[in-house]
Amino acid sequence: MEYKGYFYKEIQVTNYRGISAPMFKCSDVALLEHTDTTSFTKFTEKRMKEAIDYYIDNVAYHINLKKLTHKATKDFLQTKYEQL
């Protein structure tokens, strides 16, 4: 399935009671390139389209968030290993 040039698919999931239900999964690399997320799921197609719109509309936010996350990780690891 495709929405605004990004791809997602319908999958079947089974809960702990053995009941099967459809979900939608997106792992479009182009959509998620500015995030630390490789895929996400939604219960309805409407929610999937809303999530895709969210990622499209918030690219700048996710670029900055990814930079901050990488900087925080680097600072943490440097501090941790300097103490050893």
Q: For 16-30, how does the pLDDT look when each residue is reduced to its tens digit (9 = 90+)?
A: 999 999 999 999 999
| pLDDT at residue 21 in the model | 96
| pLDDT at residue 81 in the model | 72
pTM for this entry: 0.84
User: What are the b/e assignments for 1-40, b being 16+ CB within 10 Å?
Assistant: eebeebebeeeeeeeeeeeeeebbebebeebbebbeeeeb
Domain boundaries along the sequence of the chain: 2-82
Asked whether the CA dihedral 46, 48, 52, 54 is positive or negative, the reply is positive
Residues of the chain with confidence (pLDDT) below 50: none
